[in-house]
Structure 1
């Protein structure tokens, strides 16, 4: 990845939402993301989740066909300037890996399944970059499978929550046959209120100055209110206007009968569920006015990507926060990072490792001891668990899975079957990174700032690595013993580690 992004170069994001898939392509103009292409298709992945939480074949084919059309517009965008994120439907799908494998044959970059709070963070980033007003904001984004709530100031989210309610999921549960009645609307409303009760007191205590809504459901509700004369002079969604919209909706018996000025046909089926969720948010959080923002997840993804080019990567801030939270030794982390980067640079070209691989091993080296906060015994497993299951801003589930495997395998025995697990998750490059991290940790077992022996790592061929230790190896007896042990572990993962020294020849 380059160190800077020149103005006028293209960025792109694909947002694989539970209701719609979106493609945005933008130019960077003096630090601002200016959209030049925008595409959206109602794929409704969430509607394709069966009773066992598996994506149906029809839903998968809808998604793949949409992605194929999107890819046709991406020829001018370099892969390292593209991010593809998936949200609640693929978080929920038990067979999501099948869809992802098929999509990998179409897409130039892997899909990143992001956690709910990470989705919320990125939504806030997209909204905050498209709003001129300051102060503390509450941002609400009603998606197909989940609804995100964020409180933030300027460009920083302070509270992020993702609730399991969305317009597609609620349509399936409460309005599946398209019937509209007070009874099914009230069931949806009460269910949304129950979800909101988990965050209401916390969010109210934090407080906000303005409320902003984003994405399709709120956009549709606002447009109907504006066209019907139910919004205020700023064309905001008001409590009074939302009450009128709800009352008008309940006069219809079926979604096919609805007549709302400005309602798009592809929004018709999910509108009652969307209104129920929005109405619950107004009631439980005591909202009177809500402004609308065109910024949403895809804009947030592009601004986050832009930050990575400008060395403002949220992932590095998250790594430092984890070190502090779990009381890891920062000096030892720095020693291992320095050694890991030296080893990586020595072999990256021969092993065809990328800049993204360099970032990954560096972050794993910083975090390899966080499991000590739980217990010294098996701390590598504790650290791996924390990385796998925590909400870590900036990281996708795939990123966290890679980090987890690196930390899990940085010490103790390597088993042949665990290599197969690593290969399945991250391919041969992740296997190499695990071995490089092991060497970096091993070379710093003394936890000392005293000069280590000069070392050189060379890849002789696909199955042979050579580590050269300069000077008299007898000066470092423990290091020599550790290297002997490590040779045996490397063999379990099909690498012959040859150790050379002036007075110690393997």
Structure 2
């Protein structure tokens, strides 16, 4: 492989479907760092298209689709395993988000994953931390987005506290500056509302403490740029700067009149809402100075892609933590894991499971398939699925948590394929096949190590499955034979043919 081809294979991309803007960054690893090759961003204001019932308007959807159509041209031909497309608060809130996601995935050609607020906070911190000096001491990171604001306390590259509050520059501008009118009363009302939200985290964060404060993303960048353009400072945002910015903004009658040097035109109409939130953050948390960092969610997503193939893989840590927290029998989990992966190796090519880390997903499902036993034995697969669906699993997107919960939910008893409809269309068939492999591994290890279990030969052809055991092994193990016959019936009801020999 030529050096040029090798470099092309290392190229990766992150797409941030934010509530205010969509961003694309293309980069490649370079000497322990990330070298940015290209950045693009467009004001889409997805959050502005949410009505009172949480429905995303067709107009807002079209703005997003048009932007993604352009991004798709630049992403064409890239390895899906090196492309991360993440959606944040607007799509978390939209009741019809799947309608938009299905259309957007067709335009973009890559799966879109909705992340939780705490996962967004983790990735923001990762992006910010890699732009700062690797020094000791806790820092507070604040990121004011279009629909939510993230707060993180961390040290070096490790987040210690993660929170996401439902307030952002787009949503607050719409809610408190009715018809775009700017008044002192409306600004004070927005500040008061933000302070009310901050009560949820004030005590805990102040107890943790921090040495310095860092801000990221559009509102904080715009505030710093406006301060620099006015000649008040060369960097950073202080209380005195905020007081002056407030006075300047209240000098405009409407958001459409805002014309501050340093603030991009597409940012001016939502800046007032973000400034009110920033004022509340300073007042509530007792902040004197914030410094801006270029790192944000999309940079964190790139570092996360790199970390998934290294010791930094947060998903591995989370799976291990969940297993420990719910007292999983690790010896049994490891037996099922080893069998499942051995079966996968035999059918990777036939079932199209070579790429995208399918082995990791199967392993996570195997290691967590019994977490529901910590609650009750009756229907424990259902309880385990509920825990995975509704816990904060850092490193996993909403769709990822759903898929993992479906693996656990379907590892025993009836195999209902309709439940996988909640998984992205692009990966639904793959996760169903992973579930089949997990089911077989669980059946084969029902003895829980009481006797040695050979890995049978496995051959598949779409929905036909052939399991071949060593001669006479099944005759010597009648309980396993009975379990396999029962599993054959479960799989048949789901449209699979299981043939057993040996």
> Normalising by structure 1, what TM-score?
0.94
SS in 1 for 2:308: helix
Matched, 1:28 2:29: yes
Task: Give the alignment of 1:488-503 within 5 angstroms.
Answer: 488-501=489-502
Give secondary structure in 2 for the equivalent of 1:351: coil
> Which residue number in structure 2 is paired with residue 458 of structure 1?
459
- The one-character-per-residue Cα deviations of 1:92-141 (angstroms, maximum 9, x if unpaired) are 11111111111111223200111100000000000000012622110000
Structure 1 position 254, deviation (Å):
1.7
Give the Cα–Cα distance (whole angstroms) in 2 for the partners of residues 420 and 254 of structure 1: 46
Candidates 208, 225, 229, aligned match of 2:227: 225
CA contact (8 A) 1:25 1:35 kept: yes
Q: Distance in 2 between matches of 1:324 and 1:381?
A: 19
Change (3 A) 1:133 1:224: farther
Q: Which residue of 1 aligns with 2:84?
A: 83
* Aligned positions of 1:246-325 closer than 5 A: 246-310=246-310, 312-325=312-325
1:441 paired residue number: 442
Given that residues 7 and 31 in structure 1 are in contact (C-alpha distance below 8 angstroms), is that contact kept between their aligned partners in structure 2?
Answer: no
- Say if 1:438 and 1:119 are closer, same or farther in 2 by CA, change over 3 A: same
Q: Is the 8 A contact 2:238 2:289 kept in 1?
A: yes
Match of 1:364 in 2: 365
Per the alignment, residue 155 of structure 1 pairs with 157
Is 1:178 paired with 2:180?
A: yes
* Aligned pairs (5 A) from 1:391-470: 391-415=392-416, 417-418=418-419, 426-448=427-449, 450-459=451-460, 461-470=461-470
Per-residue deviation, residues 417-473 of structure 1 (Å, max 9, x unmatched): 5476679684222221111111111111111164213521111x3332111121322
Q: Do structure 1's residue 115 and structure 2's residue 119 form an aligned pair?
A: no
Cα distance in 1 for residues equivalent to 2:393 and 2:154: 17
| Deviation larger for 385-394 or 447-456 | 447-456
2:219 maps to 1:206: no
Whether the 8 Å contact between 2:339 and 2:455 is mirrored in structure 1 is: no
User: In structure 2, how many angstroms separate the alpha carbons of the residues matched to 1:100 and 1:491?
Assistant: 32
Q: Structure 2 residue aligned with 1:197, among 186, 196, 199?
A: 199
Q: Residues 476-495 of structure 1 correspond to what in structure 2 (within 5 A)?
A: 476-495=477-496
Instruction: Please list the CA deviations of residues 27-70 of structure 1 after superposition, one character each: whole Å capped at 9, or x if unmatched.
Output: 21112111120111000000011121111111001001101111
Give, in angstroms, the shift of residue 401 of structure 1.
0.8
Q: Provide the rounded CA distance (Å) in 2 between the counterparts of 1:304 and 1:454.
A: 34
Q: For 1:317-336, what aligned pairs fall within 5 Å after superposition? A: 317-336=317-336
C-alpha separation in 2, matches of 1:416 and 1:364: 17
CA separation of 1:497 and 1:259: change in aligned 2, threshold 3 A: closer
Q: State the SS of the aligned residue for 1:309.
A: coil
The CA distance in 2 between the partners of 1:254 and 1:362, in whole Å, is 56
Root mean square deviation, CA, Å? 1.8
Q: Displacement, 1:336?
A: 0.7
Contact 2:11 2:27 in 1 (8 A): yes
Distance 1:311 1:458, change over 3 A: farther
3-state SS of paired residue (1:283): helix
The reply on whether 1:67 has 2:68 as its aligned counterpart is yes
Residue 46 of structure 1 contacts residue 168 of structure 1 at CA under 8 Å; is this kept in 2? yes
Unaligned ranges ≥5, structure 1: 502-506
Is the counterpart of residue 187 in structure 1 residue 178 in structure 2? no
Scaled by the length of structure 2, the TM-score of the pair is 0.95
Compared with structure 1, are the counterparts of its residues 422 and 434 closer, same or farther at alpha carbon in structure 2 (3 Å cutoff)? farther
**How far is 1:324 from its partner?**
1.1
Aligned to 1:504: none
Alignment check: 8 A CA contact 1:136 1:151 kept: yes
Of residues 418-427 and 90-99 in structure 1, the stretch that sits farther from structure 2 once superposed is 418-427
2: CA distance, partners of 1:29 / 1:63: 32
Report the CA distance shift for 1:171/1:475 in structure 2 as closer, same or farther (over 3 A): same
Alignment correspondent of 2:58:
57
Q: Hey, what's the Cα distance between the residues in 2 that align with 1:423 and 1:301?
A: 20
Q: Any conservation in 1 of the 2:421–2:428 contact (CA below 8 Å)?
A: no
Partner SS for 2:393: coil
Residue 311 of structure 1 and its aligned partner are, at CA, apart by 5.1
* Unaligned ranges ≥5, structure 2: none
Deviates more, 1:416-425 or 1:400-409: 416-425
